[in-house]
Structure 1
Amino acid sequence: MFSQMLQQALNEKAIRPEDFSELMIRLLDYGIINRDESQVEANLYDRYLQCQDLVDDYLSIIGVRIEHDEQFCFVRLYPPGASAPNLQDAEHSPFNQGFRHRPNQMEMALILVLRVEYEKSLREGLVDDKGCVLISMEEIAISLNNLLKRKLPEGLQERKQLFRNLRQLRIIRFNSDSSSEEAENWISIQPGISSLVSHDVLAQLDPESQQSEAAQLNERSETEGGRA
């Protein structure tokens, strides 16, 4: 019965069952689709927009939650029971089972540092029109040491694998095809980084972010009060 209803709904949207299946498999396998990542993901993201209600209903049955960032065009899944910083109701490889991939300690440390650096760049207006931030490897190393007293892996291959793992989470971009160390001198932090670190955790690492948010709220309150 459910399959017949799904088939009928797909027919109404002019989407083939195999195309819907491809979209669902990709989402569940990677855990994220980012339109700017590749032509393949651009096509899948556009297909998601065509049948967003069907995808949402389908995944809600198994308790999977969806974050859809319309500004930066990405869709991220959260397993049942997982905490999602940008979703209000927290109750409700390809990449090594990316959907359920749990970053190791080094990956998590780097994610936290990248989130702090991303927030700093937001405050300084150093964000491009796609919401990305360019940062040097030297800045990352310094921030990692200052905030968490950690160091990046010394070996080139180990370091490249670390950043490849974060790239699979669609939170950074870098030239992973080159074998030269210079190719990793710059990293592009993607806006999806915001969905992995809550504001509470960010405030503990970077108190300025909390002050900035409070200042914005005060400014908004004063503006609304003036209008009243």
Structure 2
Amino acid sequence: MLTDSIQAAAQRRGLSLETFRKVILRLLGRQVIYRLKSQRDRELFDAFLMLRESVTDYLEVMGVRLAVNEQGGFVIAYPPGSSVPGAEEEVLIDLGTDIQRRLKGEEKGLLLALRMIFEDTLRAGTLTDDGLAMTELSTVYTRYQQIVGREMAGNVTERDKSFDRLKRMSVIHQCGDIHDSESLLSITPIVEYFSLSSVTNALSDVEAGESLTPNLAASESTQKQNTRSSEEDGNVPG
């Protein structure tokens, strides 16, 4: 039986079937295991490396493929139909509790801003030893405004939610007080592995001179649509 084979492989490495299950559930539930995020993620990533062959084979049956960056200390699960880094085209993937979940508009703009800042830091050769891009929040806000054409929401709760969601996705590692423009934020290399098709299209619109933000006449309709989407998609786990 498959279970017996997996259990035997785990035991050869001093691990248990339960550990294998935890690795699988984390990848299917969160899509990312990032070693720097927490002690739990550190243990899961180390376990993944030891069980890599069994985990890969198990997920391939479902059409889920993995992108592994041992140096960066993370593994990402890509749902069926997604491209994996190194393939012909850039990855287009939605994140969340449900693999097909979409980010909200402000979170898309923030994701783009963080990705651009990371790429600028990478080109400048100033990443940290852990591969992180350090930047002041003022730089993030400025880049966001350049992309979206307006400032981020002044509502404290909404702004907190946007940053928290990207932190849960491990795009952000550490973040200071988001209301202090001089606070530092660290961006992980994971940001380069995630790009939503809707975000990419939105960037094209911006480059063509259009705004990422809906016009005022459509704002009420958009808000209702976002509410329905949130109810259908569920919440990102804590």
The two structures have a TM-score, normalised by structure 2, of 0.74
1:32-43 equivalence runs, <5 A: 32-43=32-43
1:99-138 equivalence runs, <5 A: 99-138=99-138
SS at match of 1:33: strand
Q: Which residue pairs with 2:147 in the alignment?
A: 147
**Identical counterparts, % of pairs:** 27
Partner Cα distance (1:2, 1:134) in 2 = 44
Q: Which residue pairs with 1:54 in the alignment?
A: 54
Determine which structure has the larger helix proportion and give its number.
Answer: 1
Q: Which residue pairs with 1:189 in the alignment?
A: 187
Work out whether residues 69 and 75 of structure 1, in 8 Å CA contact, stay in contact via their aligned partners in 2: yes
Partner Cα distance (2:48, 2:88) in 1 = 22
Work out whether residues 66 and 75 of structure 2, in 8 Å CA contact, stay in contact via their aligned partners in 1: yes
Work out whether residues 65 and 79 of structure 2, in 8 Å CA contact, stay in contact via their aligned partners in 1: yes
Quote the offset at 1:112 in angstroms. 1.2
Q: Which runs of 5+ in 2 are unaligned?
A: 208-238
SS at match of 1:128: coil
Report how many aligned residue pairs link the two structures. Answer: 198
Partner Cα distance (1:70, 1:137) in 2 = 28
**Superposed structure 1 runs of 4+ greater than 6 Å apart:** 203-206
Q: Which residue pairs with 1:11 in the alignment?
A: 11
Partner Cα distance (1:98, 1:189) in 2 = 24
Work out whether residues 152 and 159 of structure 1, in 8 Å CA contact, stay in contact via their aligned partners in 2: yes
RMSD (CA atoms): 2.8
The two structures have a TM-score, normalised by structure 1, of 0.77
SS at match of 1:173: strand
Per the alignment, do residues 110 and 80 of structure 1 end up closer, same or farther by CA in structure 2, a change over 3 Å counting?
Answer: same
SS at match of 2:14: coil
Partner Cα distance (1:184, 1:157) in 2 = 20
Partner Cα distance (2:51, 2:169) in 1 = 23
Partner Cα distance (1:134, 1:78) in 2 = 27
